[in-house]
Amino acid sequence: MGEKKKIFWTGGWDSTFRLLQLLINEEKTVEPYYLIDHQRRSYKLEIDRMEQIRERIINKYDHTKEQLIPVTYYNFEDIKLDIEIVQAWREIKNDRHFGYQYKWLASFCKQHGLNEIELCVDRRDNEKEPTPTLADILISENLPAQYHTLFQYFSLPLIGLSKTDMIQIATKNGWEDILTMTWFCHHPIHIPFYGEVACGICNPCRIAVWEGFGDRIPLINRYAGSILKKAYHNLKLNRFR
């Protein structure tokens, strides 16, 4: 087996794309980690998708059976949040939308002595965004101290790639069938006799629409999500005026 790489895998598009790169293109042994947040309704679905994706990868690329190590699972409840990391997260959160998962991921790494574990942050090109994107900040020469506190434990292999770049690479390599199995919605809706569908409202759903994956969300949810998200943002703006 080749060099071992650790990665945070969620069953989502970006981390699954990187998993395929490591296994197929780079011929690495991959050790995936998944942190279970029992407060998020999607965690069981994400775990199920990872198991299905693992089976599909091994069936399609037989040599990966030895390369892809079974996922290591940890519960959020067993992670001790680090005071310095939480403070850095709060400072960033005061300036921009910033996911709560970062304080847990960084604290987990510090608690377990992990470094250079791959975290799949991609480049999101958005001309409407007046402030630098997270990727812009993380690749800057003068990285702010609070960002260093949080991201010092991670390797960021996708930081220079946009979703368009990844789609082109995936298409060239024939990975579309695997990547269509990925999941992104944090608040799936169960439809009897059909299963779970994306809600269209949560941030991952809105990002999916913006990045061109809106067809993976039912039309009515996509439309309702757009209206509800705008109403939510307007409410926040009016609240702080």
Where exactly are the structural domains of the chain?
4-155, 184-239
pLDDT in tens, 38-54: 998 899 999 999 999 99
Query: CA torsion, points 88, 93, 96, 102, in degrees to nearest 10?
Result: 70
Q: Strand 72-75 relative to strand 117-118: parallel, antiparallel, unpaired?
A: unpaired
CB 78 within 8 A of CB 37: no
Q: What pLDDT digit, counting tens, does each position of 139-166 carry?
A: 998 999 999 999 999 999 999 999 999 9
Provide the pLDDT confidence category of residue 241 given band limits of 50, 70 and 90.
Answer: very low
Burial of residue 214 (CB within 10 Å: 0-12, 13-18, 19+) is: middle
**Residue 126 has what pLDDT?**
56
The per-residue pLDDT for 192 is: 85
Q: Does this model's pTM top 0.75?
A: yes
* pLDDT (tens digit per residue) in 56-84: 999 999 999 999 999 999 999 999 999 99
Q: What's the pLDDT score for residue 158?
A: 97
Average pLDDT over the chain, rounded to an integer: 89
